[in-house]
Amino acid sequence: MTDAGVTDRAGPLRRARAEAEADIRELTAAMESLRRTRESSSDDDEHDPEGPTLSSEWSRIRGLLTAAESRLGDADAAWARVENGSYGTCLRCGSAIPPGRLEVRPTAAFCVACASVH
Ligand SMILES: [Zn+2]
C-alpha cells in the first residue's frame, strides 16, 4: 500500500526521466545530421558561409546534450532512491522534501534549506 504512494510520488520523476531520454535521442539525431551536413560541405571550406553557423550550432547542441545527459543521471540517481525507499528524504538532514518541491524538481535530493547551503 505504501508502494502505490511511492509510485504516485515518483510520477513526475518518471516523466522527467522520459523527457531527458527523449531529448538525448533528439539531440543525438541532430548532431548526427549536423555531422553529415558538415562532411558533405567540407569540400568547400573556404567559401562555406554555413561553416561558422554549423560549428556554433554544434556546440549549442553539444551543450544541450550534456545537460540532458546530466538530467538523466540525476533522474537515475533519484530513481535508485525511489527503489531503496529514500526518495523524498533530504540526503543531508534527513527531513522530508516537500511534495511541491518534488513536483517542480523531481530529481531534488535535498530539502530547500540544505539545497541553498549545498
Ligand atoms: Zn535538508
- What is the domain partition of the chain in residue ranges? 2-88
- The Å distance, Cα 118 to ligand 1 centre, comes to 9
pLDDT tens-digit map of 66-112: 999 999 999 999 999 999 999 999 999 999 999 899 988 999 999 99
Band (pLDDT 50/70/90 cuts) for residue 51 is low
What is the distance between the alpha carbons of residues 105 and 114, in angstroms, rounded to a whole number? 14
- The Å distance, Cα 69 to ligand 1 centre, comes to 25
- Please report which residue ranges of the chain form alpha helices under DSSP H: 2-9, 11-40, 51-83, 99-104, 112-117
- The Å distance, Cα 85 to ligand 1 centre, comes to 16
Which is more confident, 11 or 6? 11
- The Å distance, Cα 102 to ligand 1 centre, comes to 13
